[in-house]
């Protein structure tokens, strides 16, 4: 049975992405660069350009997924906060930054109003600092 998610283990690690795909693409890039330098031909230059495109794809594919995830979290948290926060805090929902919303998502409904008030009052923007303040961690098992 997998360990229950908490602050220490909530980061997503994708072994096939980090430990397999990335090293293969880096090796391909280095080999293509070596071949393009040693053998000046159209084929080696095209292979090198393709290796650059694959490296760019590797970097952006992760970034795109995380950006979409953050947008969904922003929407989800704004809706959640509208239902949970007292009236005086509901007007301040638009003032919450993306980083604050992403970090607050791990808080339970019971502690969310108090934590939101503290984050806004002290202008805490560091995701890690906010996550460390969460007492009743609510796992997010569908993260990218």
Sign of CA dihedral 85, 144, 65, 118: positive
Sign of CA dihedral 133, 137, 142, 144: positive
Mark residue 85 as left, alpha or beta (left: phi above 0; alpha: psi -120 to 50; beta: remaining): beta
pLDDT in tens, the chain (144 residues): 567 777 766 776 778 888 899 999 999 999 999 999 999 899 999 999 999 999 999 989 889 988 999 999 999 999 999 999 999 999 999 999 999 999 999 999 999 999 999 999 999 999 999 999 999 999 887 766
Sign of CA dihedral 111, 113, 116, 120: negative
Q: Confirm whether pTM is higher than 0.85.
A: no
The answer to whether 106 and 134 are in contact (CB under 8 A) is: yes
Going from N- to C-terminal start, the domains of the chain cover: 15-133
Instruction: Tell me the HSE value of 97 on the side-chain side, using a 13 A CA sphere.
Output: 11
3-state helix/strand/coil string of 70-99: HHHHHHHHHHHHHHHCCHHHHCCHHHCCHH
């Amino acid at each position: 049975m997998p360990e229950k998610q908490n602050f220490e283990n909530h980061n997503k690690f994708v072994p096939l992405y980090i430990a397999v795909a990335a090293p293969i693409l880096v090796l391909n890039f280095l080999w293509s660069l070596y071949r393009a330098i040693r053998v000046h031909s159209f084929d080696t230059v095209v292979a090198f350009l393709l290796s650059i495109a694959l490296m760019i794809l590797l970097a952006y594919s992760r970034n795109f997924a995380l950006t979409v995830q953050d947008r969904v979290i922003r929407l989800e948290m704004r809706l959640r906060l509208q239902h949970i926060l007292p009236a005086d805090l509901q007007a301040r929902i638009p003032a919450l930054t993306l980083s604050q919303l992403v970090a607050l998502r791990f808080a339970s409904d019971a502690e969310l109003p108090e934590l939101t008030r503290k984050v806004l009052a002290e202008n805490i923007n560091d995701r890690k600092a906010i996550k460390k303040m969460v007492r009743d961690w609510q796992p997010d098992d569908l993260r990218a």
